[in-house]
Amino acid sequence: MKQVPEQLLKPFDAKSVEAELYKMWEESGYFNPDNLPLVNGQPRTENYSIILPPPNVTGTLHCGHALMLVIQDILIRFKRMQGFNTLWLPGTDHASIATQSIVEKKISKEEGKSRHDLGREELLKRVDEFAKQSQETIIKQTKAMGASLDWSRLAFTLDEKRNLAVRTAFKKMYDDGLIYRGLRAINWDPKGQTTISDDEIVSEEKEGVMYTFKYSADFPIAISSTRPETKVGDTAVAVHPDDERYKEFIGKTFTCDFAGNKIEVKVIADHHVDKEFGTGALGVTPAHSKADWEIKERHDLPMRIVINEYAKMTEDAGTLLAGKKVTEAREEVVKWLKENNLLIGEEKTTQQIPTAERTGGLVETIPKMQWFVAVNKKFNHFGNEKTLKDLMREAVDNGETKILPDRFERVYHHWINDLHDWCISRQIWYGHRVPVWYKKESRIKDEGLSEMQNSDTEVYCGINPPEGNDWIQDEDTLDTWFSSALWTFSTLGWPNDTIDLKKFHPTTVMETGYDIIFFWVARMILASKYLLNETPFKTVYLHGLVRDMQNRKFSKTLGNGIDPLEMIEKYGTDALRMALVVGNGAGNDTKLSEDKIKAYKHFANKIWNATRFVLERTNDLEKELSVNELTESHQNYYKEWTDKKSEITKDLEEFRLGQATEKIYDFFWHRFADVIIEEMKKEILQGAKSDEDVRSQQVEDAKQISKISAQSLLLILLREQIITMHPFIPFVTEEVWKYIKRDKDDLLMVTKW
RNA sequence: GGGAGAUUAGCUCAGUUGGUAGAGCAACUCGUUUACACCGAGAAGGUCACAGGUUCGAGUCCUGUAUCUCCCACCA
């Protein structure tokens, strides 16, 4: 007669077992596909791989991470149990701007020094130290979620291997003419002191004033602007070619005294201008507006730079404004306009202010020499003439990559259509340095704009530095998304021809948030199609945002986050995992509350108690019957379960995790515990030896058979449900498995599904 | 300005291919010499936003309306 283990007699205490279970899994080596056990004596032939979207090294685990980890862990554990050769590869992201600015702030606060006081080398040393420390935190927290990641393959977006991948990719694109250096009106973040890409801009709605005015009394056309201070940089006024009001002035150049500044303004005709808007005339400021830059290109206009990298007016802005902040300069210009009777109208409007996603700084458009990826340029791609846009489109169009939910495929295409060349250089020190060198003598390195004069410098682009010591490397680093774009294959050893790369690329699933479909998903497709001529992943599963009960995003700045670590502490990891994934479908946001997590803590306990009960009521069972030896009614219960199980399997195969979770929860609690156990309870009780001698031998035998069958059914159903629940709630199931597994069984995490 | 999504019980949300409306939480009644009060049984709660249409049959498909949310965009 078996004794019920003592541990089972107390309520389930997640806290006391989780750390140890995780350690046991890690030590088993089964997170690593190279160590996975055979399946029915056969090696695992089918590969299944997910590369973890790397969290920022600086971060602490938030609910978004938790959701991502849970979904991926469910998929991986499910496939591992099904017998696939599973790889889930972890990594962290150096997140250049975010990380550097945290360290800069710290240094400025503690030592009162700027990055320039420290110098590049010293700052990088400090940032590296910080990143290393920080990385350990996020890794520890990731483990607390139960994530079955292969830590032996841990990658970092800025380590030596990834750097080689970046240099190799850059060089190839450079040689194909897809990366070029050029002078463009770019997005400048004065706070972060760097350029940023279009995708890193967040528009903020703000109240503003639209001023309508003339440059000077003798200038015939009035213009409108919310930013009159930029107008000292105007070199033209554009009107619609069909606009009768202004036809007579087209082609004429006027010299005006405007805000203490002499400006030369040519009147030009351009179809871009909307006759109905404002005065129907547009002051063209080529240096500080992208639209105006394009007009400049079309009409070959000169430009005047009046705003500098610190969002202050330059010397060229004229004596009245030079040195002032743009906001001060605006007031100054308005004052000047009023004094000179040139202000015709003021009108309140709401305007979209571009701000930098990472720093919140107000983004200025400034012309600068930068590195770009040409997305519309034709090149020879494995024998075909293609553009990078073509490659991105094709992967989805021909079904190599499936995006879930599929409505995002349309979103993806819209984005590609509107895509401009991608500015990839950053004036941040922490990141992959542009692998380009210039001949020393021919280059005068100065802050900012003097580079413009150096566009004909001798340039070397290579994976390794050029020979000789008269070369100087480009100061800039690359957009962090450039290295992230290579993530699915740089983590597997590319550019080396590795076994991992052959086995696991294209990866099976990319699971990430829909908010980074452009930043990341599209660029991974671009990079992988371009460099490997294959899609980086067969399926993209996009999850939604985790929000609070007021439907707000969880964010550090709002301070409204549910701290997953606190929830784990209070209710156990399994409870948090269930709460995150129940009812959550692809692409939908999910609301999380503490109550919900609490409810699933009860579920873990229910499993615990049911296990104890089943063990108690079956401890006199000599030999467990197999399924086809059970009584007919018991076989029917078993059939009911296997039907449910195949539904759950199908749900998982088709990424309906929320529904799978709900089904297993419902069956275990409301069918197995509430009904089947209660039924079996009676049958087992009736089968107990009776003291009275009233029952005939025949009846006694029948009762005995039914009892043994009932006991066997309970054990079989419990075991199978524990297996099925494992991907969702790995801890409590693995713990319980210790007590219900048969002698030949291995860890639950590798038990056949 | 363009695009996408949402609207189902008091709250938060599920609802595959059209086939008798579901769960958790909350509230209500009853039960418990007991695997589990981190429990069980029961009842209550819904014109599935609104208006049309397709269909034997619509929460689900189509058209329109309303409200909310999100994304994209160089209207100065």
Through-space separation of residue A231 CA and nucleotide B76 C1' in angstroms: 11
Through-space separation of residue A606 CA and nucleotide B27 C1' in angstroms: 24
Q: Identify, with chain letter, the residue nearest to nucleotide B13 (CA–C1').
A: A583
A199: nt with nearest C1' to CA: B72
- Residue A621 confidence (pLDDT): 87
- Residue A590 confidence (pLDDT): 82
Through-space separation of residue A722 CA and nucleotide B32 C1' in angstroms: 28
Mean pLDDT of A151-156: 97
A227: nt with nearest C1' to CA: B76
pLDDT at A325 over 60: yes
- A446 pLDDT band, cuts 50/70/90, is very low
Q: Identify, with chain letter, the residue nearest to nucleotide B41 (CA–C1').
A: A674
- Residue A335 confidence (pLDDT): 95
For residue A506, cis peptide bond before it (omega within 30 degrees of 0): yes
pLDDT digits (tens, 9 = 90+) for A119-132: 999 999 999 999 99
Q: Identify, with chain letter, the residue nearest to nucleotide B5 (CA–C1').
A: A588
What is residue A579's three-state secondary structure? Answer: helix
pLDDT at A451 over 60: no
C-alpha A188, offset from chain centre: 23
What is residue A691's three-state secondary structure? Answer: coil
**A120 sits in which H/E element:** helix A120-144
Q: Identify, with chain letter, the residue nearest to nucleotide B23 (CA–C1').
A: A662
Contacts of A735 (CB under 8 A, 6+ apart): A12, A17, A21
Which amino acid makes up residue A659? Q
A579: nt with nearest C1' to CA: B24
Q: Identify, with chain letter, the residue nearest to nucleotide B34 (CA–C1').
A: A613
Through-space separation of residue A444 CA and nucleotide B64 C1' in angstroms: 66
Give the least confident one: A66-75, A257-266, A554-563.
Answer: A554-563
- Residue A695 confidence (pLDDT): 60
**A264 sits in which H/E element:** strand A262-269
**HSE (CB half, 13 Å, CA atoms) of A79?**
26
pLDDT digits (tens, 9 = 90+) for A174-200: 999 999 999 999 999 998 899 998 888
Through-space separation of residue A634 CA and nucleotide B39 C1' in angstroms: 25
Residue A256's DSSP bridge partners are A263
Through-space separation of residue A582 CA and nucleotide B48 C1' in angstroms: 21
Through-space separation of residue A554 CA and nucleotide B17 C1' in angstroms: 36
> For residues A703 and A724, which has the higher predicted lDDT (pLDDT)?
A724
CA distances from A509 to A41, A399, A404, A407, A654 (A): 27, 14, 10, 18, 12
Through-space separation of residue A527 CA and nucleotide B29 C1' in angstroms: 64
- A1 pLDDT band, cuts 50/70/90, is very low
- A548 pLDDT band, cuts 50/70/90, is low
> Which of left, alpha, beta for A260 (phi over 0: left; psi -120 to 50: alpha)?
left
A13: nt with nearest C1' to CA: B38
Q: From CA A386, how far away is CA A390, in angstroms rounded?
A: 6
Protein-proximal nucleotides of chain B (any atom < 7 Å from a CB):
3-5, 11-16, 22-25, 35-36, 38-41, 69, 71-76
- Locus of tokens 């202004």: A246
Mean pLDDT of A580-586: 84
DSSP string, A428-468: -SSSPBP-EEEESTT----SGGGGGGGTTS-EEE-SSPPSS
A515: nt with nearest C1' to CA: B71
A663: nt with nearest C1' to CA: B23
pLDDT digits (tens, 9 = 90+) for A616-651: 899 888 889 999 999 999 999 999 899 899 989 999
Contacts of A71 (CB under 8 A, 6+ apart): A511, A541, A543, A581, A657
Through-space separation of residue A634 CA and nucleotide B17 C1' in angstroms: 32
pLDDT at A64 over 90: no
Q: Identify, with chain letter, the residue nearest to nucleotide B73 (CA–C1').
A: A418
> Which of left, alpha, beta for A476 (phi over 0: left; psi -120 to 50: alpha)?
beta
A585: nt with nearest C1' to CA: B14
A588: nt with nearest C1' to CA: B5
Which amino acid makes up residue A643? D
Through-space separation of residue A675 CA and nucleotide B29 C1' in angstroms: 22
Give the least confident one: A275-284, A295-304, A570-579, A588-597.
Answer: A588-597
CA distances from A384 to A378, A390, A391, A528, A611 (A): 10, 11, 11, 16, 62
**E-assigned strand segments in A336-490:** 343-356, 364-373, 379-381, 384-386, 402-404, 422-423, 425-426, 436-439, 459-461, 471-473, 477-478
Q: What percent of chain A has pLDDT over 90?
A: 65
ipTM associated with this complex: 0.92
> Residue A195's closest CA among A376, A356, A430, A307?
A356
What is residue A365's three-state secondary structure? Answer: strand
What is residue A225's three-state secondary structure? Answer: strand
What are the structural domains, with CATH classification, of chain A?
A: 14-157+482-570 (3.40.50.620), 197-357 (3.90.740.10), 593-750 (1.10.730.20)
Through-space separation of residue A591 CA and nucleotide B48 C1' in angstroms: 21
| Structural contact between residues A505 and A536, judged by C-beta atoms closer than 8 angstroms | yes
A292: nt with nearest C1' to CA: B74
A611: nt with nearest C1' to CA: B35
Through-space separation of residue A199 CA and nucleotide B68 C1' in angstroms: 26
Through-space separation of residue A410 CA and nucleotide B70 C1' in angstroms: 15
A205: nt with nearest C1' to CA: B73
- Residue A167 confidence (pLDDT): 98
Q: What percent of chain A has pLDDT over 70?
A: 95
- A697 pLDDT band, cuts 50/70/90, is confident
Through-space separation of residue A330 CA and nucleotide B74 C1' in angstroms: 21
- Residue A453 confidence (pLDDT): 44
Q: Identify, with chain letter, the residue nearest to nucleotide B3 (CA–C1').
A: A411
Contacts of A697 (CB under 8 A, 6+ apart): none
Through-space separation of residue A114 CA and nucleotide B62 C1' in angstroms: 63
pLDDT at A334 over 80: yes
A274: nt with nearest C1' to CA: B75
- Residue A587 confidence (pLDDT): 83
A575: nt with nearest C1' to CA: B38
Residue A184's DSSP bridge partners are A368
Q: Please provide the average confidence, as pLDDT, over all residues in chain A.
A: 90
Q: Identify, with chain letter, the residue nearest to nucleotide B26 (CA–C1').
A: A595
pLDDT at A204 over 60: yes
Through-space separation of residue A205 CA and nucleotide B62 C1' in angstroms: 37
Through-space separation of residue A438 CA and nucleotide B2 C1' in angstroms: 44
Q: Identify, with chain letter, the residue nearest to nucleotide B6 (CA–C1').
A: A588
Burial group, residue A11, by CB count within 10 angstroms (0-12, 13-18, 19+): exposed
DSSP string, A24-64: HHHHHTTTSGGGPPPBTTB----EEEEEPPPPBTT----HH
Q: Helices A594-617 and A564-571 sit at what angle, rounded to 10 degrees? A: 30
Q: Identify, with chain letter, the residue nearest to nucleotide B11 (CA–C1').
A: A549
Mean pLDDT of A400-412: 89
- A404 pLDDT band, cuts 50/70/90, is confident
For residue A495, cis peptide bond before it (omega within 30 degrees of 0): yes
pLDDT digits (tens, 9 = 90+) for A673-686: 988 998 898 888 87
pLDDT digits (tens, 9 = 90+) for A9-46: 778 888 889 999 999 999 999 999 999 999 989 999 99
